[in-house]
Amino acid sequence: MISLFTMMLALTPVSDPEGAPAGATPSAPDAAATSSDTPAPSAAPAETKPQPTPAETTPAVPTTGTAPVVSWGAQIRPRVEKSFGGNLGVPRSTETLDELGNYRVSQRSRATLAITADLLRARLTLQDVRVWATERSTQGDYTADGLDLHEGYVQLGVDDALRVGRQEIVFGRGRLLGNSDWIQQARTFDALVLWHQTPNAKLTFVATRVKESAGAHPFFDVLAGELQTTRAGLRLSVPVICMTNQWLKSTDRGPSTEGWSLATGGADLSFDGPWFGRAEVYGQTGTNHFAYLFAASAGYTLSELWAPMLGIEYLSGDKDHTNRQSGTFDTLFQSSRAFYGLMDRFANIAADTNDGGLVDILAQNHARLGAGTLDVAVHHFRLARPDRLGNDGALGIEADAVYSVPVVDHVTLSIGGGLFVDQGDIASARKTASIRTWHDWVYAGLDLSL
């Protein structure tokens, strides 16, 4: 008779049962955490490493023979945000001088169940995301409109693995493909992911079908791959992401029934130590499109209080607004708040710069302060080219700060904010129309993760 003990499921705290997550190299994890789907700003200044998700920070659960191991986990993350100037969630065209400040409280609640059995892994994460006071009394409204499946996948293998289902996917730091962990709902994909990894390298392949909420081509397929490797203190990420609707019926392609494709590729080389920095270059080509991005930064760690860094990022703009050819770099599924300022004024480069592209000249410092960390950054934003409205030159200056500190075990407090001041042609036009030329935002949040 089979022993009853061999049939029992072992219950352990939350952990990552699937081995290394897609896009992360074990020897040098560098996954992104913030993203780009809502108007809320980011919690991490440009160039700082985004906070990893629970699945990326916990070790794999050891197996005991053939008996499955069941893991559980939970996360509660409330956050209050306020704008004294009244620009929080208010369309920019209505930011008049006489508006009052506003605030909102949002919350993420997650429950995770994971199973490990030899080479088989499975993970299920249910998530509720809501803004306080957007529902009526719970006695009359109990439909849980914000409840959704965040993760639901099965995986076979560890170092050589196949994962199928809904999952978070991060390439490098998330500049082109990230999980956008800052927004409460984050980003996942219904995808097939294959990877092969060694102690110093990982090769990942992704296939998924995506439906966006708007645009001329909202429905398309994505084929992507990334090579990550670490050698002699250098980390290299080489992503290639191809998007196309060519395999869809013309009647299923959305507002535009034309065939469309877009391919993006490049490299991200970084190093750590007393001296730290990175260099990135990407090219983008496709249907009526050619664009590019380059970025470079360097810094030095003087002490726990001083680790200054200087950098520049250039995203190409459209040089001719009268034809169908586009020259504005598309940041795809980026975690923008890790790169272009906490205020998230440039979540969509094409729309937020009127196809002018973006130049970001930045300075920042990372410091250990008490039991926590303080990150401060200053950005000077400029148009890469004149935009569709004829504006050129400076866009504005943004100053950001975030302090994060553990409160008790499993609970972290984060306090931050930013101030953006318009400059150049845009500032002049806003002053003429009596529209405010400064924009502010502050927040405080708790993160309880088990």
* Alpha carbon distance 265, 176 (integer Å): 10
Query: pLDDT band at 226, cuts 50/70/90?
Result: very high
368 compared with 259, residue with greater pLDDT: 368
Ordered structural domains, the chain, with CATH = 4-449 (2.40.160.100)
Sign of CA dihedral 317, 321, 327, 331: positive
pLDDT at 12: 42
pLDDT at 85: 64
The answer to whether 126 touches 111, Cβ cutoff 8 Å, is: yes
The pair phi, psi for residue 93, each rounded to 5°, is -70, -15
Query: pLDDT band at 2, cuts 50/70/90?
Result: very low
| Residue whose C-alpha is closest to residue 296's, from 239, 345, 359, 349 | 359
Name the residue with tokens 């400064």.
438
The answer to whether 419 touches 438, Cβ cutoff 8 Å, is: yes
CA-only gyration radius of the chain, Å: 23
Residue 114 has pLDDT above 70, yes or no: yes
Average pLDDT over residues 214-220: 78
Model pTM score: 0.81
Indicate left, alpha or beta for 23 from its phi (over 0: left) and psi (-120 to 50: alpha).
Answer: left
Residues 6+ apart with CB under 8 A from 385: 316, 317, 318, 319, 327, 356, 357, 392
* Alpha carbon distance 243, 209 (integer Å): 9
The answer to whether 13 touches 73, Cβ cutoff 8 Å, is: yes
Amino acid residing at 202? K
pLDDT in tens, 121-161: 999 999 999 988 877 777 777 777 789 999 999 999 999 99
Element (H, E) at 447: strand 438-449
* Alpha carbon distance 20, 157 (integer Å): 10
Cα–Cα distances (Å) from 254 to 129, 211, 245, 247, in that order, read 28, 10, 10, 13
pLDDT in tens, 30-58: 333 333 343 333 334 444 444 444 444 44
pLDDT at 32: 34
Q: Are strands 69-83 and 102-117 parallel, antiparallel or unpaired?
A: antiparallel
Residue 391 has pLDDT above 80, yes or no: yes
Percent with pLDDT over 90 in the chain? 65
Average pLDDT over residues 378-382: 97
